[in-house]
Amino acid sequence: MSELITRASSINRALDQIGDKWCLLIIQEVLWGINTFNEMMEAMGVSRGVLSNRLKWLQDIDCLRRETDAAGRHPTYHLTSKTIDLYDCALMAIRWERNWFDNPQLDNVQLRHRSCGQTFQPQLRCGHCSDQVILGEVRFQSGPGATRDVREKKVRRRSSIAASQIPSRRALYRNLINLVGDRWTANVIALSFHGITRFEEFHTELPVATNILADRLKLLVEEGVFVQVVYQERPLRQEYQLTDKGRDMFPWFLALLQWGDKWCDPQGKGAPVLVTHTGCNEPVEAEVCCSECGKHLLAHDVEFTLNGEVM
């Protein structure tokens, strides 16, 4: 059987499109202005075949635009409106990476908000009350698009190349990509935000082969996203609870959910899941904001500097 039916979710739809390590790394390189095949291949340490395959896929889903010179040669790859809109996710990825990892590439980079002149940390804030949005202060409800999705079960194998082995010095959120670059791993994390903790519950919502699910849960425990807690002694039963590190991934997932609502709704039925901010009781409509002045961050208003030089 090559199809999988799950509850409709903008996070899953987004991950089915870009929840792949190489796709996420390509998008990151293009965000930094790396536009040619050879530059990407060198930066990512990826084989020619895999890179061609992912570039084609990203064009098929309108996440990259290919241009050539007048003679139809020297192709370059460029962001589309859809990928430019992943900017919030990129900033939330940087935030999580900063909070939980020593990442030399990232530690040397400073983010400066041009309009207030300050070095800042990106924060996800509610569009209505401006409070920071964190897990535990949101409520999920079914939305107008709460159907079920038939998904391709066939999945590229979880890449065996660890994020730390990616040569690119522009890989600012390599540890995040290491986890969410496998869509089943990311699906499991997303389910845990809905309060799911037990193997059987995960399996009901995500009916992949049990060995695949067990492998992803084990990885998430090893990576400190989940902790195993005994809930029954005889027979021994354990559940998977989010750690602080795991809970702190929520802003990235929420930014991805909003992106999926906007760009991955093929039938135009509307959001499958509505997210309400319990602090103000309004739909979240989260915005990535500057920690210093509190204003919504726009891509052209943010400067990345490496050792004092603009990247």
Binding site for Zn ion (CB under 5 A): 113, 116, 126, 128-129, 277, 279-280, 290, 292-293
Closest CA to 172 of 246, 95, 113: 95
Helix (H), strand (E) counts: the chain? 13, 15
- Considering the complex, state which of residue 113 and residue 174 has its C-beta at the smaller distance from Zn ion: 113
- C-alpha 275/C-alpha 285 separation (Å) is 8
- Considering the complex, state which of residue 7 and residue 128 has its C-beta at the smaller distance from Zn ion: 128
- Considering the complex, state which of residue 74 and residue 296 has its C-beta at the smaller distance from Zn ion: 296
- Considering the complex, state which of residue 207 and residue 279 has its C-beta at the smaller distance from Zn ion: 279
- C-alpha 168/C-alpha 43 separation (Å) is 4
- C-alpha 53/C-alpha 262 separation (Å) is 25
- Considering the complex, state which of residue 116 and residue 311 has its C-beta at the smaller distance from Zn ion: 116
- Considering the complex, state which of residue 45 and residue 117 has its C-beta at the smaller distance from Zn ion: 117
3-state SS, residue 107: helix
User: Cβ 143 to Zn ion, closest distance in Å?
Assistant: 18
User: Cβ 33 to Zn ion, closest distance in Å?
Assistant: 24
User: Cβ 126 to Zn ion, closest distance in Å?
Assistant: 3
User: Cβ 129 to Zn ion, closest distance in Å?
Assistant: 3
Closest CA to 136 of 261, 253, 279, 241: 279
Could you count the other beta carbons within 10 Å of the beta carbon of residue 180?
Answer: 27
Asked if 185 and 179 count as a contact pair (C-beta separation under 8 A), the reply is yes
- Considering the complex, state which of residue 128 and residue 153 has its C-beta at the smaller distance from Zn ion: 128
Cα 271 to chain center, whole Å? 18
User: Cβ 199 to Zn ion, closest distance in Å?
Assistant: 34
CA atoms 35, 38, 43, 48: torsion sign: positive
- Considering the complex, state which of residue 293 and residue 306 has its C-beta at the smaller distance from Zn ion: 293
- C-alpha 238/C-alpha 183 separation (Å) is 24
Asked if 188 and 6 count as a contact pair (C-beta separation under 8 A), the reply is no
User: Cβ 292 to Zn ion, closest distance in Å?
Assistant: 5
Cα 134 to chain center, whole Å? 16
Could you count the other beta carbons within 10 Å of the beta carbon of residue 193?
Answer: 20
- C-alpha 259/C-alpha 93 separation (Å) is 14
User: Cβ 289 to Zn ion, closest distance in Å?
Assistant: 8
Asked if 226 and 241 count as a contact pair (C-beta separation under 8 A), the reply is yes
User: Cβ 286 to Zn ion, closest distance in Å?
Assistant: 9
